Amino acid sequence: MQRIKYSELRSTKKLWSLVVLLAGFVAAAGATVLYIEHYGHIVTGMNNQIVWGVPHIFAIFLIVAASGALNVSSIGSVFGKQAYKPTARVSSLLAMALLMGGLAVLVLDLGRPDRLLIAMTQYNFKSIFAWNVLLYTGFLGIVAIYLYAQMARGVHVFALKTAGLVAFLWRLALTTGTGSIFGWLVARQGYDAAIMAPMFIAMSFSFGLAMFILVMIGTCTMTRRIYSPELRTRQARLLGIFVAVVLYFTAVQHLSNMYVSEHQEFEKFILLNGGIYTAVFWIGHVLLGSIIPLVLLFHPKLDRKRYLVILAAFLVVLGGFSQLYVIIIGGQAFPLEIFPGYEVSSSFSDGVINSYTPSILELILGFGGVALALLVTVLGMKFLRILPVNLSDDNVEPSALQ
């Protein structure tokens, strides 16, 4: 076993072409923000009933994935798995980048980004949104210190483990806060559930590890660096476990709602007669995002078939977007139960299923957030020694892979 060495990405035509492409997406998203700012949200598909649209799906996916992307680093330092330590720097950098991309979409879709200063200086601690401002900014600061501890020479092992433990606990709190945004909204039958917090933690493990695997494979392929097939397979198997856990929590959530009378109509809407939401749930989340990845990730020849890992990770990401679409959009589309036990109707669309059709502007803004996260990751690898030079099976401690 050789000592793991790290290096910056070399300047190549392929690298700078990727940077230009990602910067183009970010610029397009910026132009979209200015257009929406000028003409108002009426140019999007959002309305008075559906106030959280596709941009919020992208934002929450990136925020949740940011917490899970740190999982690889935590396994190495907190739980002492030596095989995961060589890729810990990539894990920390990607976690910060994903959170930056998600917060950028979230802030720029609010309509008045300048009002963020008010939210940061005047706190209402009865609101989970106020707590999340502290959780998000704290996450960036703690992970930055954690990354510095990983890269700096002479840092004591105890200090590194302490920073890793604090980052691990903080990311659990961050994802709990994000899930609680929905779990504490009692006015919506689709949100009001205490299981939202632990389910979002499980989702973060799944989404974040899938993004990490895609970034690692893509970067190593582009730079012609070796990515240990044995380590890649171990991480892929772990992803399969996380996918199964998310599917389990999803089943518990819907079974619990079916047991409670006030949520039964919503469950019928999502699971049986919700149109696009039912299709996205069963096909997008359950079939494409869970069952097929589970089959691929536990394939006996996974270690020799890299494309299975890539396909499975991509489907997990697709399934994550599908799950959030059902939770966020489907939960708003179902009418509010203002007077329990009574039918409500008015000229303001009360008592009816709310319609929503995403606009191209919302998609551009969402993909701009993803591009920003990837751009930060690429530039971080370009100017910092983040990526291992050689991560072959011979350079990964054999006993750590047992």
Q: What is the DSSP string of 302-354?
A: GGG-HHHHHHHHHHHHHHHHHHHHIIIIIHHHSPP-SSTTS----TT-TTSPP
Distant-in-sequence, close-in-space partners of 400: CB < 8 Å, separation ≥ 6:
81, 82, 83, 84
Q: What distance, in Å, lies between the first and last C-alpha atoms of the chain?
A: 15
pTM beyond cutoff 0.75: yes
Query: In the numeric block, which tokens belong to residue 68?
Result: 């899970």
Instruction: Report the pLDDT averaged over residues 231-235.
Output: 89
Q: How far apart (Å, rounded) are the C-alpha atoms in residues 123 and 78?
A: 33
Residues 6+ apart with CB under 8 A from 360: none
* Per-residue pLDDT at 400 exceeds 50: no
Distance CA(197)–CA(173), nearest Å, equals 9
| Distance, CA of 374 to CA of 316 (rounded, Å) | 18
HSE-up of 371 (CA within 13 Å, CB side)?
A: 19
Q: How far is CA 300 from CA 193, 210, 233, 307, 308, in A?
A: 38, 19, 10, 14, 11
Nearest-angstrom CA–CA distance, 44 and 170: 35
Beta-bridge partner residues of 6: 388
Distance CA 66, CA 60 (A): 10
The region, left, alpha or beta by phi > 0 then psi within -120 to 50, assigned to residue 152 is beta
State how beta strands 387-388 and 6-7 pair: antiparallel
pLDDT at residue 302 in the model: 79
Mean pLDDT, the chain, rounded, equals: 87
Q: Are 332 and 57 in contact (CB under 8 A)?
A: no
| Interval 247-266 mean pLDDT | 88
User: Looking at the domain that runs over 6-337+345-401, which CATH code has it been given?
Assistant: 1.20.1630.10
| Residue 313 near residue 239, CB atoms below 8 Å | yes
The predicted-structure confidence for 3-55, as pLDDT tens digits, reads as follows 678 888 888 899 999 999 999 999 999 999 999 888 888 899 888 888 889 99
Are 212 and 376 a contacting pair, CB within 8 Å? Answer: no
For the chain, how many residues are written?
402
Residues in CB range of 308: below 8 A, 6 or more apart = 296, 297, 299, 301, 302
Evaluated on CA atoms 219, 222, 224, 228, the torsion sign reads positive
Look at 25-29, 80-84, 345-349 and tell me which has the smallest mean pLDDT: 345-349
**Distances in Å between the alpha carbon of 97 and those of 110, 148, 328?**
21, 15, 23
CA quadruple 87, 88, 91, 93: dihedral, nearest 10: -110
**Per-residue pLDDT tens for 295-320?**
999 988 877 788 899 999 999 999 99
Q: Please list, residue by residue across 125-160, b when 16 or more beta carbons sit within 10 angstroms of its beta carbon and e when fewer do.
A: eeebeebbbebbeebeebbeebbebbeeeeeeeeeb
pLDDT over threshold 90, residue 189: no
- Whether pLDDT at 188 is above 60: yes
**Per-residue pLDDT at 42:** 87
CA nearest 376: which of 140, 209, 165, 213?
140
Q: Which residue has the higher pLDDT, 42 or 99?
A: 99
